[in-house]
Structure 1
Amino acid sequence: MTTPLDLDIVLVPVDGSDESTVAIEYAIGIAERYDATVHAVYVLGEEVVRAIESDAVDEDEVAAETEAFTDNVAEMAAEHDVEVTTSNAYGFSVNVKTRHPGSVVLDTAEEVDADFIVVPREPVSGDPGEVLEKAAEYVLLYASQPVLSV
């Protein structure tokens, strides 16, 4: 006899890529099925973090881009009557060697008490904005929650 899943929060890390949009669609579908909410964490990659810290890029500009993407997530979820919360996280630190996209996803999962994680498994394209291909394998190996890699 199988035990049904009891889900309250589905975590989906995003980075603005097409692959993360697909992951959002899966996360919304799972949340809709289990009457759960979705938490989307926008993970900023190394190049973006370094650019912010060196003032090479305006932090407000980056915030506006991430907000536009997470607004789109909320619109997608609203179409399915699924509640969404969002956050942003640096997926890299010049001061903390253990901070990387995978650890950020798992830390966020613990912070929001996520019951399930949907992580995009992206091809390595070299686009500096796409950081989650580095996180997928780590999350699959170390997450204590069930994980769907899409």
Structure 2
Amino acid sequence: MYESVLIPTDGSDDMGVVVDHGVALAEQFGAAVHALHVVDDRAYGSVPDDVQQRVEETLTADGEDATKAVAQRALETGLDVVREVRWGNPPAGIVAYATENDIGLIVMGTHGRTGYDRYLLGSVTEKVVRVAPMPVLTVSVGDDGDDAPAAGISMPDPIREN
């Protein structure tokens, strides 16, 4: 059913359960795993020029570490892995990567934010779910304190115009 599974990662400690879900699905379908980290370049546009290069190198290295952690887990099960670090708007970067690489399924974590936190901070996952032309599996992690994460899948709306 799926030939490729994209696991976007922010490198947080909570990603382990998301990676487990993504790798398990990829293993079940014999799919390749794509590990992606998108550095939000809007957050670093005001960094002084004299430190810009160091900031970029550090954030790129952090992204490489994050994708390496996903890749190592997938490689343990014998799956093919592709890793990439991009700069840009994370939701747009994730959807663009998924579209460019004909990804069958995106597996992402949610942080259980509600109310003002969700309104003010927005949600990368929520934005991806709204616009991705392929299914997105969301795995609840972090803020709810529950040891058993919930998962849900969003299927693309076949009537929606792109």
Task: Return the TM-score normalized by structure 2.
Answer: 0.69
SS where residue 6 of structure 2 aligns? Answer: strand
Partner of 2:21: 26
Are the equivalent residues in 1 in contact too, given 2:38–2:87 (CA < 8 A)?
yes
Partner amino acid for 1:14? T
- Alpha-carbon distance between aligned partners in 1 of 2:71 and 2:112, rounded to the nearest angstrom: 25
SS where residue 79 of structure 2 aligns? Answer: coil
Are the equivalent residues in 1 in contact too, given 2:4–2:33 (CA < 8 A)?
yes
Structure 2 CA distance for partners of 1:62 and 1:121, relative to 1, 3 Å: same
- Alpha-carbon distance between aligned partners in 1 of 2:46 and 2:102, rounded to the nearest angstrom: 31
Q: 1:66 pairs with 63, 67, 82, which one?
A: 63
Matching of residue 78 in structure 1 with residue 75 in structure 2: yes
Aligned counterparts, 1:53-132, within 5 A: 54=49, 55-56=51-52, 58=54, 59-91=56-88, 100-123=89-112
Matching of residue 36 in structure 1 with residue 31 in structure 2: yes
After superposition, the CA RMSD in angstroms is 2.4
Give the C-alpha shift of residue 62 in structure 1. 2.2
- Alpha-carbon distance between aligned partners in 2 of 1:51 and 1:11, rounded to the nearest angstrom: 31
* Unaligned ranges ≥5, structure 1: 1-5, 92-99, 125-131
Partner amino acid for 2:109? P
Structure 2 CA distance for partners of 1:133 and 1:53, relative to 1, 3 Å: farther
The higher radius of gyration belongs to 2
Deviations 1:45-95 (A, max 9, x none): 35654366843461222222222222222211121111110111224xxxx
More strand by share: 2
Partner of 1:138: 127
Number of equivalenced pairs: 130
* Unaligned ranges ≥5, structure 2: 114-120, 140-162
Structure 2 CA distance for partners of 1:28 and 1:107, relative to 1, 3 Å: same
